[in-house]
DNA sequence: GGCCAGGTCCAAT
DNA sequence: ATTGGACATGGC
């Protein structure tokens, strides 16, 4: 197999892929098999060296966001001491640039779900409606283009639940070209446009803007971020999501979304916020 | 077994 | 302008 290499300082593939922004990867002894758009490709990282095949460097740089100024981003976020713990927990975590349609569908699928299930749902949709693709001995299925995702009953059979109707509506609007104009709009207009899609409100729209359109200011507020932000910056008092977004925008500006991803990953994986007692004494059996 | 999961929508304050 | 429930399904 003919693989290529690329030097990628200040970048961590594992943290980037496993931080919950992307659902189309499988790890195989150190290497990641990835699906994006019509491509199935493989990437591994050893130190600062990326080895890849199945895609060209132009594609890889765009997808992994290697064209972002990491040094500048890090320096800027580091000015905030309250972020240090999260930054140090996953140094090199970057924001991907996903395919807009796939990302929209993925985060509609994510509604009131969890990462393992989301990944399974997406893989099921790809297997059912996508196109088979291979890379050497590895095989997969591309995520279905919008014209193939018009089968609500079928999606319900795949256990998408109430998300099925949202997905077919999103596919219909994608066919009409709604995702193509987003890139040229202001943040506010882009968000309003995305929110025309049934199943896309504030949170999902911000995920799509952040993970597919490179709008690093977008700050998705989900249940984890809400919890972290309220504890860290609002003295534990619950506040409207709107207030959290406003605070993040004020504090981190154009990089709020990057801060968000570090906080999200850290809050879920560090144990700092998952400290529900794993083992309470077993309640006495009644009867 | 009830609660919660990278929420959204709609109806009733 | 806020708030409560319904919406499917699965894991713990």
- pLDDT per position as a tens digit, A186-219: 999 999 999 999 999 999 999 999 999 999 999 9
DSSP strands (E only) in A99-218: 132-135, 138-141
- pLDDT per position as a tens digit, A72-129: 999 999 999 999 999 999 999 999 999 999 999 999 999 999 999 999 999 999 999 9
Distance CA A132, CA A38 (A): 10
- pLDDT per position as a tens digit, A57-83: 999 999 999 999 999 999 999 999 999
The kind and range of the H/E element at A40 are strand A39-46
pLDDT score at A285: 28
pLDDT score at A64: 98
Distance CA A255, CA A246 (A): 13
Distance A169 CA to C12 C1' (A): 33
DSSP, residue by residue, A221-287: --HHHHHHHHHHHSTT----HHHHHHHHHHHHGGGHHHHHHHHHHHHHHSSSS----S-PPPPPPP-
> Phi/psi at A86 (nearest 5 deg)?
-70, -40
**Which percentage of chain A shows pLDDT scores above 90?**
93
Distance A6 CA to B6 C1' (A): 31
Residue nearest to nucleotide C1 (CA to C1'): A240
Contact A138, A33 (CB under 8 A): yes
Strand B contact at CB of residue A20, distance < 7 A? yes
DSSP strands (E only) in A71-223: 132-135, 138-141
Contact A43, A60 (CB under 8 A): yes
A1 falls in which pLDDT band (50, 70, 90)?
Answer: low
> Phi/psi at A25 (nearest 5 deg)?
-140, 155
pLDDT score at A271: 82
Mean pLDDT within A149-172: 98
Residue nearest to nucleotide C2 (CA to C1'): A240
Distance CA A106, CA A83 (A): 28
pLDDT score at A275: 52
- pLDDT per position as a tens digit, A254-278: 999 999 999 999 999 998 877 544 3
Q: Of A116, A115, A239, A216, whose CA–CA distance to A247 is shortest? A: A239
Interface residues for strand C (CB within 7 Å) are A 112-114, 116-117, 156, 159, 161-162, 165, 240, 242
**CA distance to A34, A51, A167, A214, A270, per residue, from A161 (Å):** 26, 39, 11, 30, 31
Contact A248, A259 (CB under 8 A): yes
Contact A245, A221 (CB under 8 A): yes
pTM score of the predicted model: 0.95
Whole-number average pLDDT of chain A: 94
Coil, strand or helix at A63? helix
Distance A8 CA to C8 C1' (A): 42
pLDDT score at A279: 36
């Amino acid at each position: 197999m003919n693989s290529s290499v690329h030097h990628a300082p200040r970048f961590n593939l594992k943290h980037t892929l496993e931080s919950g922004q992307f659902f189309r990867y499988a790890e195989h002894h150190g290497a990641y098999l990835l699906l994006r758009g019509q491509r199935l490709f493989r990437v591994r990282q050893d130190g600062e060296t990326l080895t890849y095949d199945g895609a060209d460097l132009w594609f890889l740089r765009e997808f992994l966001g290697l064209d972002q100024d990491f040094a500048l981003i890090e320096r800027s976020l580091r000015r905030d001491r309250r972020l240090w713990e999260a930054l140090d927990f996953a140094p090199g975590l970057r924001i991907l640039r996903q395919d807009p349609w796939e990302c929209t569908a993925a985060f509609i699928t994510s509604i009131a779900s969890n990462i393992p299930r989301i990944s399974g749902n997406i893989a099921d949709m790809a297997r059912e409606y996508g196109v088979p693709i291979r890379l050497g001995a590895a095989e997969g299925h591309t995520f279905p283009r919008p014209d193939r995702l018009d089968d609500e009953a079928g999606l319900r059979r795949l256990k998408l639940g109430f998300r099925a109707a949202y997905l077919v509506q999103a596919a219909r609007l994608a066919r009409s070209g709604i995702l193509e104009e987003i890139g040229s709009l202001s943040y506010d207009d882009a968000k309003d446009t995305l929110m025309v899609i049934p199943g896309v409100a504030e949170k999902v729209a911000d995920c799509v803007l952040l993970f597919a359109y490179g709008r690093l200011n977008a700050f998705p507020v989900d249940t984890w971020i809400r919890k972290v932000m309220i504890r860290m910056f609002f003295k534990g008092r619950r506040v409207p999501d709107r207030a959290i977004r406003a605070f993040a925008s004020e504090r981190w500006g154009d990089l709020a979304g990057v801060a968000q991803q570090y906080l999200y990953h850290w809050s879920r994986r560090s144990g700092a916020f998952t400290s529900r007692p794993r083992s309470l004494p077993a309640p006495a059996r009644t009867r």
